[in-house]
Amino acid sequence: MYLKTPMRFCRVLVAMVPMLVLASCGEGDGKAGIPATTQTGVLLDAPVSGVFFESRDGVSGLTDNAGQFDYLRGDRVRFWIGDIELGSAFGAPFITPVELTGSADPSAQAVVNQLIFLQSIDEDENLANGISVSASARSAAAGQTLDFESATFLDDLDDVVAAIAPGNIIVSDIDALAHFYQSYAAVGCSDTLNFQFPGFPACGTEFELIFADEFSGPNGSQPDPSIWNYDRGYGPNNFGWGNNEWQLYTDSPDNVRIEDGNLVITALCPQAPCGVRDGSITSARLTTNDNFEFRYGKIVARIRPPTGQGTWPAFWALGANFVGGSSIPNQQWPRVGEIDFMEVFNNTYNSPAQANIARRSATSAMHWCDERLAPDPNSNCFVQGGRLFVSDALVLDDPLDQDFQIWEANWTEDEVTVAINGTEYFQLDIDPSTMEEFRREFFLLLNVAVGGTLGSGQAPPQGDETFPQTMLVDYVRVFQEADDGPDDPPADPPVLTLVSIFSNNADPTQATAGDTVTIAIIADRPLIAPSVTIGGQGATGISGGGTVWQISRTLDGSEPAGELAFTIDFSDLDQVAGEQVTATTNGSSINVIVP
């Protein structure tokens, strides 16, 4: 599900914390030989009021407006609404659906189902003030049942909510989890509760959830088309997506579908021999291009990648101005920038020991164009030798395909870090003078490639590759720090750097009528089309975009001789104006790095 309205975490909880802490204070210590005294706890997914409770020794009642219930230390406490059993747990200062369902993970399906149920029957549908189960809802719940473990839970829930809270909207799974996270953070996270909250930010930082797909559609369905696009075929020039990969990308359900709450991407070769770009190997590549693009944030995904010989699964991001096969330089790779949150590849043919390491290795990388090494913005940066990259890997104890792994990346204007299962293994500082690509918006990609640069080390199929090779994706989530999102204007104005001044005359200072004089500039961040005067007159050509621009004038003889001034007024995408810059054809300007 794509959340078009950001959901704020933590900030709304400040007023809740004192109430919850006070509610957790017991009245006795329950020591042996001393009569047990009544303790007080809180039923949480936000304080839940109006729920029946009863302990083994007969302490019973309804949770109050603060979600409080009474219990004797050592007793189990049972909770229910009408004939709907929520479960039981040993009395504690806080009890949540995690304990009531006997789970250890808040993202377990039974927990999520109970969260959805409780939030969907809130009397005023305003979870910010807690969850209230009305008397009429309790009465209507008599004769109703729900199995939170059932595969048909959501179908059953529709009927139950219609019966006990008519008109209420069913809360989505990710919204239910996000709201539960608020309460978890408010009471001190795992310092207070006996579980962690994987897939969400650590406590202590205010975050907004700006994007999430939990892949919770019906089995066999396609991924949400409002979020995901498909790349199809063999890529530009049929060259295996620039990497000499073998597979044909399709949108067939055989290669991409939803199953059991996961996105399933499968590389297939149903019949040998499996060849290179001959249609024998198929797979899928999904992108959020034009549907979801973002700048900076915490990116979290839970993935079970394949590790078979020749496979190359990835979760990554490209600059949003990328257009595959484009002839426009600032739309080409690597000028757009690339962040590889997760790559797994096994190209270790004939080496079982190396294959064992490859199957346990998580790799992350970044690719970009250094315009100092590739100054001509009209040329391909890769061909010019301006492409730079940094990669790093972590070798785990077990093969990555044996279970789901959680990748978590943090991308700020200053750095990118990546961790797997809580262990950081990649970090790179962003140098604004050479890595401006990473201060722009990006889109997400998920794919399973076969062969090619990393998949097979450019070797052709060896005949011992096995298929199918399947990647499972449980969820993808993107968070941004509240009050620190991409729309905040930078404190400093953008800066232009002159790359070159040239003309069809070898010496621009000798240009005469009919000659065209051009300057190439780069900026430290994307610009709105600049306003330019040349020799006191308008430019005859402005091309480029983003951070790379070319500005030219064809001389008509009216210009001053010997020196031609280019005066440029500009602003960035946040409307922050830069200082006026004047470049001249004698090579003098601010920040000249190429004569």
Q: What is the dihedral of CA 63, 65, 68, 70, to 10 degrees?
A: -50
User: With contact defined as beta carbons under 8 Å apart, do 448 and 266 qualify?
Assistant: yes
Residues of the chain falling short of pLDDT 70 = 1-36, 327-330, 377-378, 483-511, 524-541, 543-547, 559-595
DSSP H helical ranges for 135-221? 135-140, 153-164, 173-186
Q: List pLDDT tens digits, range 35-61.
A: 568 899 999 998 999 999 998 878 999
Instruction: Judge whether 369 lies within some domain.
Output: yes
230, two tokens? 């498909």
Instruction: Judge whether 207 lies within some domain.
Output: no
User: With contact defined as beta carbons under 8 Å apart, do 452 and 245 qualify?
Assistant: yes
**What pLDDT is recorded for position 331?**
79
Given 182, 202, 222, the domain boundary residue is 202
246, two tokens? 């073998």
Q: What is the dihedral of CA 430, 435, 437, 438, to 10 degrees?
A: 0
Give the domain range for residue 503: 496-584
Residues 343 and 459 in one domain: yes
Residues 111 and 173 in one domain: yes
**What pLDDT is recorded for position 538?**
67
CATH number, domain with residue 535? 2.60.40
Instruction: Judge whether 101 lies within some domain.
Output: yes
User: With contact defined as beta carbons under 8 Å apart, do 388 and 376 qualify?
Assistant: no
Bond from prior residue into 97 cis (ω within 30 degrees of 0): no
Residues 80 and 151 in one domain: yes
- Cβ neighbours of residue 18 under 8 Å, at least 6 residues apart? none
Residues 256 and 131 in one domain: no
Given 144, 175, 202, the domain boundary residue is 202
Compute the distance between CA of residue 207 and CA of residue 204 in angstroms, rounded to an integer: 9
Instruction: Judge whether 326 lies within some domain.
Output: yes
Instruction: Judge whether 414 lies within some domain.
Output: no
**Residue 203 three-state SS:** coil
Count structural domains, the chain. 3
As to burial, measured by CB atoms within 10 angstroms (0-12 exposed, 13-18 middle, 19+ buried), residue 126 is exposed
Residues 197 and 252 in one domain: no
Instruction: Judge whether 197 lies within some domain.
Output: yes
**What pLDDT is recorded for position 530?**
60
Sheet (strand 68-72) strand order: 68-72, 38-43, 94-95
Instruction: Judge whether 142 lies within some domain.
Output: yes
Instruction: Judge whether 418 lies within some domain.
Output: no
The DSSP secondary-structure symbol of 240 reads I
The DSSP secondary-structure symbol of 494 reads P
- Residue among 28, 179, 187, 206 nearest 111 (CA): 179
Residues 181 and 324 in one domain: no
Residues 173 and 241 in one domain: no
Residues 131 and 157 in one domain: yes
Q: List pLDDT tens digits, range 6-17.
A: 444 433 333 343
Residues 194 and 255 in one domain: no
Residues 516 and 389 in one domain: no
Residues 146 and 27 in one domain: yes
CATH number, domain with residue 300? 2.60.120.200
**What pLDDT is recorded for position 192?**
86
Compute the distance between CA of residue 477 and CA of residue 139 in angstroms, rounded to an integer: 38
Compute the distance between CA of residue 65 and CA of residue 54 in angstroms, rounded to an integer: 17
Compute the distance between CA of residue 178 and CA of residue 148 in angstroms, rounded to an integer: 19
Residues 389 and 538 in one domain: no
Given 481, 506, 539, the domain boundary residue is 481
- Residue among 48, 62, 41 nearest 130 (CA): 48
pTM more than 0.85: no
